[in-house]
Structure 1
């Protein structure tokens, strides 16, 4: 009977771990999609800012400038 209890606890723990793994996989998939979306937005903003600076006659575009902390 002790073996059956132990097997039951192990099956319960396995089911819990499987559920956690599925939940984490869902979170990672959502984060990956969000990172891709934000990356596209940043690239779009960088292109728009470079175009704006080029229109204003600036010789060095923002994308080519070093950050102030360098």
Structure 2
């Protein structure tokens, strides 16, 4: 995983300050639960979707996971 505890803490702090936070760079589907409880404004998962065997299915999985976690 590319995301560490210091990253999550910094993102939460920015969100708590009122910033609309965007998470990008090395984001994988399995990383999404790390951000649960933080009101993320945008996720950018370019390579994870682009490089998937089925980009359409990968995008659907991201969408489904985001809906489940942030509903």
TM-score normalised by length of structure 1: 0.28
Flag the structure with more relative contact order, 1 or 2, with Cα contacts below 8 A and sequence separation at least 6.
Answer: 2
Bigger Rg over Cα: 1
TM-score between the two structures when normalised by the length of structure 2: 0.27
More helix, by proportion: 1
More strand by proportion, 1 or 2?
2
